[in-house]
Structure formats: structure tokens, C-alpha cells
Amino acid sequence: MKTTNILTISILLLGLLTFNSCSEDFLEVYPQDRITTVSFWQSENDVQLALNGIYSVLKHRGVYGSGPTFDAVTPYAYQWAHWNGMEKQIGNGTITAATSGGLLNERWTMCYRIINFSNDFFENIERVDLPEAKKSTYLGEVHFLRGLAFALLAESYGGVPIITTVMNTEEVTSVSRNTREETWAQAISDYDEAIQRLDPVSYELGRATKGAALGMKMRAYLYQNKYDEVLEVVDEIDALDMYALFPSYEGLFQLDNENNEEVLFDIQYIAGEQGQGNFFAWLALPGSVAAAGASDPAPTQHIIDEYEMIDGSEVDPNNPFEGRDPRLDFSILRPGATFEGMVYPTEVSNHTGQRVGYNLRKNVGEGIPLLSPRVSPLNFIVLRYGDVLLAKAEALIETNQNLEEAISIINRIRTERMDVTITSLPTDLSQEEAREALRHERVVEFFGEGILWADIKRWNIGQDLYPVEVRGADGGLIEVKFPTGYEEKDNLLPIPDNEISFNENLEQNPGW
């Protein structure tokens, strides 16, 4: 017997899942295979509820809710969780198309939920009498959100079915995959529509803006290695004259500095019950702090080794943390450091399931009193201006246009903040040397932000990084990531088997 796939479930339960503050009395099933609304879509309040329902999906761990945990899919972090389909299995090469649950299924599930909710929004908003300016803004936000979903699907699975209308059960069980290029093109088309409709400043914090749409369009081009297009979009972002590096790297990820000038788009959280707060900020906390966090994920020695000495000298093996790039201590809790006044790893330590010897510090909300033991009000930054700058530097390097300018941009990241000053790179590097410097800089700048997995895939460097041994502080072997080596197929996730079993038109990715 075939199982019902989530794409179909999302369509059939669209109204209930989106408008969870409304009663089922608002819904009428007509015809039998499709939910339609009867007393919804009457007012602007209904439109806002529908829009909020789409935004809320971004908080799911299959989208951005896992936050820094996505770094466990790289050599730079380890996840202790044993549940199937999690970042642990993807990151060590044991995932299969038959794996149930976890990120493998949930990314597909939640991205299609966003797409289906968005399509329903487009189909119904005309039923509400709204001023044209407001309607255009709301439509721009939904195009932005649908673009995010298609972009995440393209990055993770390659080509997927492009669905831009509300479908019934029969229709959705016969859709075929579009190409990866077509899926990326759909994401960019949605971003373009959002760019045309959105203002540089939003009517409410956390909403999509013109800058956010431009930034995610830039990232979509970057992830396709379309560097000329990256440079064009960066110029459009800079023309807004709204974004800059925040003067403190450490402060960038603190509650007091949320929504600062470096943030193009983030996921907004508030203190409260689970579902309102940032659950994965709690997960990353070390043990014995704020209701004993889960130390998930734990940084590995591989990321420690990436942090340079400030003056360019060699690391002293007897004092391995002295004089290092300050971003190490801002991002990672290491032996001898203090966390909320307690010494690591004696007074405060890793979760008992960890033996790695390090804990994440960035994005855990150190010092924030939690109203509920498993939530945090700390926002999660999806895209910031530091990424815009390094995207421009990478594009200049890869097109071999202006290496000196590219290196000067990298040096801005290394020297411009008041709490990060590292020896500047020489401006006469070769293209290959500049490329190596750029990739190194992205690793140390963005560790703990969940985007390094995408870099490994788009640069196609997995075969150079793996196999990787993960050893604990005691030197004992914890696991080997990709013990038989990294293959081309590992640059994409497999299409979940349960999706293919329900729809024979979905072809599996090569090698899976």
C-alpha cells in the first residue's frame, strides 16, 4: 500500500495548517479532494493571518529552525543526536533515500508547505478589498517566501517539481521534476517579483524587504557560481545605502543588537513558550547552563585549526588558544574559557553525550534569562552584509577581474571591526592564492551560522575534505565522516523514497 506523501498532505490540509488560530468551521471541503475556504479571506486581518502562517514555517528545523546545527553536515561540527535523517547522518555519509524523518524529509516537507501556502495566498488575496499599495507589499512578501523555498529545494535536492498553482490530489501525484536550472530560475523569478514590490524598509521587523530579496537573489546566483550576476546584484544592494558591517563581531549575535545594520534578513523570535522562541539556540547551550542545554552541535578540531594567529605566526602547541583570531572565542567555547562566569569544561561542560571537547558559543544567547527552559528570544540571522561583501570578493576572484579589490574586501572582514583585527593579506596574491584565502575566510567568518554545507557543495570540494576523523578531547575516535570517501552524489540529498513511492514520475537523483 502506498503512503500519502507530505506534498499532498500539505495541499489537503492547507487551511487548517496555515490558519491555526481559526476554527475548522472556516473550512469547507468542496470538491472532495480539495480544501476551499468559505468565511476566510474576508478582511485584511485574514490576509495577515495567512501571511504569518507562511512566515511561521521558516522556524521549522527543515528550513531555518536548525540554525547552526547545519554545520554538523560539514567537517567542522559534530552532532550527537542519534535520530534518523538528522544532520549527523547526512554529515557522516550514512543517509539513504529510505531514511525516514529528520532533515532529509523535513526540508522537502516544509519547503513544499511554504510553496503550497503561497500558491493558496496568490489564489485568494484578490477576494479581499485592499489598497493596491498594501496588496502589492503582501504579494511581494509571499513571492520572497516562495523564492526561499524553491532555492532551498534546488540547493538540497537539485531539480524538483515547480508548482505555482493550487493542485488537487490527482494533479499532485503526477507531477514530474523540473531541472535544477529551472528550479533556480523559479526562485530568482520570485525574488525579482519581490524586489519590484517591496520597500527598502519594512512596515514591521522581520518582514521581507527589497534588500532581503536582493540579498537572497545574490545568494541564489552565488550558489550557482554565476559570478557576473552576483556582482550586478551586489551593486543593487549597495545602491540602497542601508547596510554595513556591525562594529562588533561578538555583538552581532547578541540580543541587545538585534536588527542592526548588518542584517538583511533574519528569523524573529520572542521569549515565551516553545514555538515562540528559538529552540535550537537552547540546544546549542553547554550543559549546566539555562536548564542544561544539549551542546548540539559541538565544534570539532577541524574548525579550531582554521583560526589563525592574529600576527600571522605559528600556533604555540603549549598555549594553543593564546593570540588566535578573536572570532574563535566569540564563536566557540574552548577549554579554559568562561561562560556566564563559569569555567569550561569544569564548571560548565558539554552534554554527557559529547566527548568532542568544544561547545558552540555563537548563536546560543549567552546570558539571556529564559522564561521557558527550552526557548530563547535570540533571532537567527539568515543573511548579513558580511556575506554580501565576501560574495563580491569571491565573484571578483572567480572572474579574475580585480584581485586587488577582492583582497581589500577580505581585509575589511579581517580588520574593520573593533574586536577583530588580524594581519591583512598582501594585495599581490595570485588567483589561486586569493581563492584559498577567500574560502578560508568564509569558514571562520560564518562558522555557527549554518551555511558552510552549501559552500562545500557548490565548490565541489567534498572529495578533498573527507574522510574526516572526529576525535574527542581525550583523543578517542568518535566517528569517521564519509569513511569510504565523498562522492559526486553527496552534493545533493536523495529524493525521499516515500515521495517517489507515491508518485512514479519523480526520478531519483543519480547514485542514490
Residue identified by cell 565523498 is 486
Average pLDDT score over the chain: 89
- CA distance to 35, 195, 216, per residue, from 211 (Å): 35, 8, 9
Asked if 391 and 397 touch (Cβ cutoff 8 Å), the reply is no
| 256: number of Cβ within 10 Å | 8
Least confident of 35-39, 81-85, 207-211, 393-397: 35-39
Provide the whole-model pTM.
0.91
Beta-bridged to residue 201, according to DSSP, are none
| Nine cell digits for residue 168 | 488537487
Task: Give the separation between CA 107 and CA 255, rounded to whole angstroms.
Answer: 28
For the cut 90, the answer to whether the pLDDT of residue 278 exceeds it is no
Task: Give the separation between CA 125 and CA 424, rounded to whole angstroms.
Answer: 53
Give per-residue pLDDT as tens, 361-377. 999 888 887 666 667 89
For the cut 60, the answer to whether the pLDDT of residue 479 exceeds it is yes
Give per-residue pLDDT as tens, 459-475. 999 999 999 999 887 78
User: Higher confidence at residue 353 or residue 231?
Assistant: 231
Least confident of 25-29, 146-150, 305-309, 449-453: 25-29
Pick the CATH number of 6-264 from 1.10.1740.10, 1.20.1050.10, 1.25.40.390, 3.30.70.1140: 1.25.40.390
Give per-residue pLDDT as tens, 306-335. 999 999 999 999 999 999 999 999 999 999
Task: Give the separation between CA 95 and CA 493, rounded to whole angstroms.
Answer: 9
- Residue boundaries of the structural domains of the chain: 6-264
> Sign of torsion, CA 45 50 51 57?
positive
**Is the backbone peptide bond immediately before 31 cis, with ω within 30 degrees of 0?**
yes
